[in-house]
A and B are shown apart, each in its own frame.
Chain A
Amino acid sequence: MADEGSTKTQTAGVTRRVVLATGAGAAAASILPLDESAQAQMPSAHVETGRKVHLSALINGQRVSLELDSRASLLDLLRERLGYTGTKKGCDHGQCGACTVHLDDRPVSACLTMAAKIDGRQVTTIEGLSTGQDLHPMQQAFIDNDALQCGYCTPGQIMSAVACVTQGRATDPDAIREFMSGNICRCGAYVGILAAVEQAAKVMEG
């Protein structure tokens, strides 16, 4: 989880330990725009290219305000600028679902979403689904039903699965299978994924 100490030192000299701690909380460290002193210490960090756009958005409940290359995808913004590496790149073409995030509560492929388009909007990634030690019921259901193997598609599966339930589409096994078919799991954990969505739907719908 984020320790305040790492926040300011992120760009100045990240140890491997800090890098490996990059996850839900540590990601918050790099959300803060670089201050002058940090830029002086590492002038090569986060040099933006191309036509720059300014954007301000709420990501996992935190205000993010920064300049970036107008060509950047939301996926690359999340992963490379903000450290939310839970969102995965599997195809970069909107074909695999590994980068599924919620944009204003709707599931989208972050790779097909221009980063500039999220200005003024809210994004939730896998890191923002739960807080502290508590898991979202869908995350717990994925563990309980072993709905994963390598884990690479898992964050995207879970974000789609949450949307499947909140959009009222988890009505029967075939409806769940259909909804979840935009998320490829190459390890083939589909049986577990179906069971996980069924379990979490009961909890989420009370």
Chain B
Amino acid sequence: MPSQVFPEIARVDARDKVLGQALYGADINLPGMLYAMLVPATIAKGRVGELDVRRATETAGVVQVLSIGDFPTLRPEISFLGQPIALVVAETIEAAIEGAEAVTAVYEASPFVALMSSPGAHRVPAEGFSTGDVESAFQNAATIVEGTFETPTQHHNPMELFGTVAEWSGGRLTVYEGCQNVDAVKGALAKALNLSPDAVAVKSEHVGGGFGQKSPPKIQTALVAQAARLTRRPVKLVAPRGQVFHIANYRPRSIHNMRLAANAAGRLDAISYDVVQENIPDGGFRSTGYHEDIARLYAIENFRATAADVHIDRQMPRHTRGTHPFPAGFALESLIDEMAHKLGKDPVQFRLDHQAKKDIIAGQPLSPHFLNDCLTEGAKRFGWSKRVPEPGSMRLDDGTLVGFGVACGIFGASMSASEATLRVRANGTTRMISSGHEMGQGMLTAIANVITQGLDINPDRLEIQLGDTTRGPQIATVGERGTASCIPVALKAVHALRAKFEELAGSNPPAGNLHEQLARLKRPYIEVTATELAPGQDPSALKAFRSGGRAGAGPDYPGFTSMSYIAQFVEIHIDPMTRRIRMPRAVSIADIGRVVSPRTAKGQMYGGVVWGFSTALREETEVDPRFAGYLNDDLADYVIAVNADIGNIDVGLIDQPDPRINSVGVKGMGELVMLGTAPAIANAIYHATGKRIRKLPIRIEDVL
């Protein structure tokens, strides 16, 4: 049975964070610790012919240099600019930098492909998808809109750099590193260093932002561990931002050709969609993923998707916040707006009229959802009714062009098998061993809310442990499945603990809170372990969870599909002289099922609008075609939204559980929250100017 509404509680780790006491990977200082610096390759493709580390070795303070041949990942074959070719380890950061700069290499360079548009780049088709009869829908269409949409290469750029501290003790390795998947890092380290997984611990108790960047294991982590093994001293590496640009994954550039057909009755009838993205051969980011979520957004029966990669010689692109539904949704939501305009319909009403009830990908019902409530609530709060439909018709007294725009977003509500161990002690403390990573999304606060609402315990002395492989298996905190995976099992643990206590206490429990009751019963503690599966999973998923395997499921479960939804509204002002684009206000309303932590969920909602604004109007990684490297590889030139960019944001959550997905009815939100903003901005710019901008980021020159 779905849980009750949760009250708002303060973020449980906020105090540590405002005091500067929350420890991130690079904050660990150990006695005798050495400092490392990577040496990046300066070609995109080819071989290292000669590598001269003599001057580096002789640099005062340098203790160890690992170079080509010293470790499997220090390979002479170069496949991207910035690939590490050496690691210099020294007594101080300054000496490590000096040593790294003293390494010289002679390369045998090979031709490379830097961009999708580079000579030699070609299309490598992937598997497509088709349902219904798209051909005849377009033949019989009364109205067709189409466009080519482009979204740029973008880097996640969490504020925390790649920081790694490695320490060996008695043949066992401990690594401190901010990441979203400690179990994967542990597995990769065990493999790279030929260790039993039992001999490796990875700790990531606080993560300074992830956004997808810290999900896969990193090339430098095992190098740092190897350096610590060789030197018999702990080693710390904090990779400079410019290097992170070249070794981290990123959002690939993608180009979307989309056509939308409406029949004579003005109803949407078919989508034809082709996408091509930059990728590496056998890359981990599938071009076949773009259509999957957006095909479920509206009631459109006929859908055909084709996809392809263009292979490039750069490092691997991967998931970035919003992942596939972000670029795909930019295309779809822009075209929906265009279609509404062409049909003379209001863009909000047009969306309301196409409420989806069926998942055309899996061929089964969608779990009941509240996208239309998001739209109507958002329209009300925004004052959508004040919108004058004609483009260019709204202006301020000083001539500022005003545009109102709306767009929606959708993201699959996936889950993972999970486990939790809850112990309440007579001494007033409570400990929950959970699974996942706290990256700022508020997972700890959500778990704390479930426990403190369900048990009469001392909330100030509740400790929740996660992000640490020594505590037990840790779910990959990706694809907005973290909360949906740990919260149902936390609730189950609370119920189990209550039941166990009732059994213990009998019909006449002593007075006081749970700690006092235990003390009076002369029980030092009471402990339960609970497990939970996603719908349709069998116990093998739990086995996979415990062994670091794939334990996820959804968003299509047996008999139904569950998605998260958002509707976002923006007001755009364009300066009549400079054409500067501003966003004085935005409204964002989401259906994420039951809201477990209202305060941190709202934090995500605000942050999502900022991310959306930033992707729409600021961020683009500039690839230098001469070197296949990144020109703007720092935070001055890779422009991210700042405080002065952001106006008033009003956020709301529908807070209706999806009873089919789990016992709490909670769905994810971390990716969803940014999805509608960019297309809403593009639609508002159209409303302000009459210009359809079909590429991101949108710049002043696009609205001249």
Contacts and interface: CB of A to CB of B under 8 A. Distances in A.
Nearest to A14: B31
Contact of B603 (A149, A153, A158, A176): A149
Nearest to B61: A49
Which of B61, B93, B233 has the largest count of A CB atoms less than 10 A from its CB?
A: B93
B157 A188 contact: no
B636 to A, nearest CB: 4
Contact of A194 (B17, B211, B602, B643): B643
A45 interface: yes
Contacts of B643: 176-178, 180-181, 183, 185, 190, 193-194
Contact of B610 (A176, A180, A190): A190
Contacts of A135: 15, 18-19
A58 interface: no
A37 interface: no
Contact of A189 (B19, B93, B603): B603
- A interface SS class: loop
A185 B613 CA distance: 13
A192 to B, nearest CB: 7
Nearest to B8: A146
B21 A86 contact: yes
- B interface SS class: loop
Interface string A165-191: 000000000101110111111111111
Contacts of A189: 603, 606-607
A143 B23 CA distance: 18
Contact of B17 (A87, A90, A154, A178): A154
A101 B485 CA distance: 39
A142 B642 contact: no
B644 A177 contact: yes
B17 A148 contact: yes
B37 to A, nearest CB: 12
B646 A191 contact: yes
B606 A192 contact: yes
Interface residues of B, number: 74
A96 B27 contact: no
Interface in B135-193: 157-161
B453 interface: no
B200 to A, nearest CB: 16
Given A146-B600, A155-B20, A45 B31 contact: yes
B227 interface: no
Interface in A75-128: 76, 79-80, 83-93, 95-96, 98, 125-127
A150 B635 contact: no
A184 B644 contact: no
A42 B31 contact: yes
Interface string B21-65: 111101111111011000000000000000000000000110000
B32 A45 contact: yes
A22 B640 CA distance: 31
Interface in A1-28: 10-14, 19-20, 22-24
B635 A90 contact: yes
Interface stretch (B72-80, B361-369, B439-447): B439-447
Contacts of A72: 92-94
A50 B161 CA distance: 26
A125 B31 contact: no
B610 A126 contact: no
A130 B158 contact: no
Given A150-B209, A151-B206, A186-B157, A48 B91 contact: yes
Nearest to B24: A152
B94 A69 contact: yes
Given A50-B95, A146-B599, A177 B18 contact: no
Contact of A188 (B13, B22, B610, B636): B610
A188 B241 contact: no
B634 interface: yes
A8 to B, nearest CB: 13
Nearest to A85: B27
A136 B60 CA distance: 43
A186 B640 contact: yes
Given A142-B18, A188-B609, A49 B94 contact: yes
B159 A88 contact: yes
Contacts of B91: 44, 47-49
A43 B439 CA distance: 37
Contacts of B343: none
B60 A50 contact: yes
Given A146-B600, A180-B643, A188-B611, A93 B636 contact: yes
Contact of A178 (B15, B29, B92, B644): B644
Contacts of B158: 150, 152, 186
B19 A47 contact: no
Interface in B200-258: 206-209, 211, 233, 238, 240-241
B436 to A, nearest CB: 14
A71 interface: yes
Given A24-B19, A187-B607, A90 B159 contact: yes
A59 to B, nearest CB: 14
A152 B173 CA distance: 26
B208 A151 contact: yes
Which of A48, A153, A174, A188 has the largest count of B CB atoms less than 10 A from its CB?
A: A188
B14 A88 contact: no
A83 B636 contact: no
A85 B23 contact: yes
Given A127-B19, A192-B603, A80 B93 contact: yes
B408 to A, nearest CB: 20
A143 B20 contact: no
A148 B18 contact: yes
Contacts of B602: 146
A180 B521 CA distance: 55
Which of B10, B14, B157, B610 has the largest count of A CB atoms less than 10 A from its CB?
A: B14
B207 A150 contact: yes
Contacts of A91: 241, 634-635
B593 interface: no
Nearest to B238: A89
29 contacts: A23-B20, A44-B91, A47-B61, A49-B60, A49-B90, A49-B91, A69-B95, A83-B29, A85-B26, A85-B27, A87-B20, A88-B24, A88-B159, A89-B238, A146-B11, A148-B11, A148-B18, A148-B440, A149-B439, A151-B16, A152-B208, A155-B18, A174-B644, A178-B643, A181-B643, A186-B211, A188-B610, A190-B642, A191-B648
Q: Which 3 pairs from chain A and chain B are nearest by CB?
A: A86-B20, A188-B610, A150-B440
